[in-house]
Structure 1
Amino acid sequence: MRQSRSRLLAIGGREWALLGAILLASVVFSVASPFFATAGNAATIARNSTELMLAGLGMTLLLAIGSIDVSIGILMGLSAIAVAHALLASMAPALAVLVGPLTGAALGLVTASVVVLGRVPAIVGTLGLLGVYRMGVFALLGGQWLSGLPTGLTELLSARLLGLPLSVVVIVLAYLAVWLALRATPYGPHLLSIGNSEEKARLSGVPVTKVRFATFVLSGALTGLAASFYVASYRNVEMAIGSTLALDAIAAVVLGGTSILGGRCSLLGTALGVLLLRVLQNGLLLMGVPSLWQPVVTGALLIGVLAMDMPLARMGDLKARWALR
């Protein structure tokens, strides 16, 4: 138990490397563009990071358990539509902001039912749901945008608390709540135990089905909360909402040191991975690189990190086997 928790919460070389990469990229882009090192651009990077911070937090838990959800972008779209309709129905902003995570949790429940109860491989099940959810977005929007939404939710999440925008406070509290759940409850050790070996975890008494089910629902709720932030920021919902969210979330989480094979995760690493990704995307855009190249950069980073991590993971497995002998 202690070993699992210490691995979960350790601040090591990966986190320091990410921090160094963020600082180095910031220096390079500051030299390359006079618009990068400005307060306004820093606010833009922070704003563009909010949804990914929350979706990445959920993806961290899914990857740690040895699973994945490639449908989170469309899940965010459906949740955003629900939030938009709540605002159009004159729902109070304090209640409308909850519509996102509730809708996301409900959709996460559907995903969990397919993957966990239906025993469908996560990549296959969530790809199938991606198609279903995409059709749902098209049907609900009718090929048109929901635009000009009321400003109440924007004003609520822009309000200051302890000198910070409420949206930033909510993200910090979300990370703190997950950290506490991983640190102070059996959920953390169970999560990593299942990620390392589901069969061994089951034999040792870990409630595998319940933990996996809860993780999909929690990831859905966090992505739904990201949808509330999206609606507050842009005050519209378009057809292409969340189209790159899954790729960005997986890339940021893997950059942060969470193993795509399960059994290892870092919440701090995820947050730093999100910031590095957004700094790179923002800096390249200011340098005149078309935004269409952003998924290429993200994909290349993901492939590069996996190319380095997979051999290291295999070496770790070999060392563990020899140690057992």
Structure 2
Amino acid sequence: MSLLNETQVDTGRSSSGLRKLSVLWEVPELRLLLAILIGVACLAMVSDAFLTGRNLRSVLLGFSFVGIAAIGQLLVIITGRIDLSGGSVMGLAGMVCALTMAAGMSMWVAMAAGVLAGAAIGLFNGVFSVRFGITSFIVTLGTLQIARGITVGLTEGDTVTGFPDLFLFLGSGRIVGVPIPVIILVVVAVSVAAFLRFTGAGRELYAIGGNESAARLAGVPVKRLQYLVFIASGTLAGLAGVLLTARLGAAVSNAAAGYELTIIASVVIGGASLAGGFGTAFGVVLGALLIAFVNNALVLLTVPTYWQQTFIGAVIVAAALLDRLRR
């Protein structure tokens, strides 16, 4: 009888452990973290250059710009909308910042001008999407072209250089060995995560994405919050563009071209639902990091660039399919 009881206890513990593992596996961030750890281990075995300090710093720097813009994109996607203009806004913000410095203004004023340019595009997206009811996909597809056209037109395709050392330091310098853009990404991610989790407005964003009509009937200021997320998306894309310009040491008209897909892919891979109502800042950071590691692996393995683009497109479709099956 004692043996039977012990067997039942062991079986119960085993079942409890399996249930706990099953629950943990349902957390997108943990699945992503596991995928990243497995990927890092595999890459370390196939390429001696992967775990070098120089390569890892390069990966972290590259992913930080995408990650900052992707966190802004997350806020839009949580409400059930989308912003396709992220990459173009980054390019425009960097160019505005560079031209402002070239005009003799201080570095801080120039950086503020670049970020405000991004916020202005976000406000434009919000007005036409929320106020006039045009689908956000169409509006932001238009502003993608508008922002890129303005960026090229401001200098007629020329490159702007000659930045102060402090500005360049913000783009590639390190504090305690950590690149400054990565530190800024962490601050942005923690701030947005706290906003989403601990504020009423953050919880209301999820309510809008879950059921906009029900949220409106419950007294949620739907339109005001939709304006907010578009402005936030433009602002963070502007910040990322300014930092990218500091990293490159030059403002070029095609800066961040094609980043739109990577930004959206980071959000989707990070566990956010394209239907709205779900997603976390931590997941977005992990999604951007996973893409950065895979792209780096393809480069180290001398895989042609077009296959990298193919991968990102395939991942977006796969992530959307997984989201559909989960829901």
Q: TM-score, normalised by structure 2?
A: 0.88
- Is there any run of 5+ residues in structure 1 with no aligned partner, and where? 1-9, 314-325
Offset at 1:128? 1.7
Partner of 2:35: 21
Separation of aligned partners in 2, 1:161 and 1:33? 28
- Is there any run of 5+ residues in structure 2 with no aligned partner, and where? 1-23
Does the CA contact (< 8 Å) of 1:79 and 1:104 recur in 2?
yes
Partner of 1:282: 296
Separation of aligned partners in 2, 1:94 and 1:11? 45
Mapping of 1:272-311 within 5 angstroms?
272-311=286-325
Confirm or deny that 1:126 pairs with 2:129: no
What amino acid sits opposite 2:259 in the alignment? L
Confirm or deny that 1:102 pairs with 2:116: yes
Confirm or deny that 1:30 pairs with 2:44: yes
Offset at 1:151? 3.1
Offset at 1:123? 0.4
Q: Deviations over 1:131-186 (max 9, x none)?
A: 22222122113122224544331124555556644333322221222122222321
Partner of 2:256: 242
What amino acid sits opposite 2:304 in the alignment? P
Residues 83 and 44 (structure 1), Cα distance of their counterparts in 2 relative to 1, 3 Å cut:
same
Mapping of 1:143-158 within 5 angstroms?
143-158=157-172
Confirm or deny that 1:171 pairs with 2:197: no
What amino acid sits opposite 1:58 in the alignment? G
Residues 91 and 164 (structure 1), Cα distance of their counterparts in 2 relative to 1, 3 Å cut:
farther
Q: TM-score, normalised by structure 1?
A: 0.88
Partner of 2:205: 191
What amino acid sits opposite 1:288 in the alignment? T
What amino acid sits opposite 1:243 in the alignment? A
Partner of 1:53: 67
What amino acid sits opposite 2:67 in the alignment? M
Partner of 2:152: 138
What amino acid sits opposite 2:47 in the alignment? S
Separation of aligned partners in 2, 1:163 and 1:35? 19
Confirm or deny that 1:259 pairs with 2:273: yes
Offset at 1:32? 1.9
Query: Of residues 246, 249, 258 in structure 2, which corresponds to 1:232?
Result: 246
Does the CA contact (< 8 Å) of 2:87 and 2:258 recur in 1?
yes
Offset at 1:250? 0.9
Confirm or deny that 1:77 pairs with 2:103: no
Q: Deviations over 1:238-269 (max 9, x none)?
A: 23222221100111111111101000011111
Q: Mean alpha-carbon deviation: is it higher for 121-130 or for 205-214?
A: 121-130
Offset at 1:71? 1.1
Partner of 1:321: none
What amino acid sits opposite 1:28 in the alignment? C
Separation of aligned partners in 1, 2:305 and 2:82? 26
Separation of aligned partners in 2, 1:26 and 1:277? 12
Q: Mean alpha-carbon deviation: is it higher for 229-238 or for 151-160?
A: 151-160
Partner of 2:15: none
Residues 11 and 69 (structure 1), Cα distance of their counterparts in 2 relative to 1, 3 Å cut:
farther
Residues 144 and 292 (structure 1), Cα distance of their counterparts in 2 relative to 1, 3 Å cut:
farther
Offset at 1:66? 0.3
Percent sequence identity over aligned pairs: 32
Query: Of residues 54, 57, 62 in structure 2, which corresponds to 1:43?
Result: 57
Separation of aligned partners in 2, 1:63 and 1:80? 24
Residues 135 and 192 (structure 1), Cα distance of their counterparts in 2 relative to 1, 3 Å cut:
same
Does the CA contact (< 8 Å) of 1:93 and 1:156 recur in 2?
no
Partner of 1:4: none
- Provide the aligned length of Structure 1 versus Structure 2: 304
Separation of aligned partners in 2, 1:11 and 1:212? 32
Confirm or deny that 1:203 pairs with 2:217: yes
Does the CA contact (< 8 Å) of 1:244 and 1:295 recur in 2?
no
Partner of 2:12: none
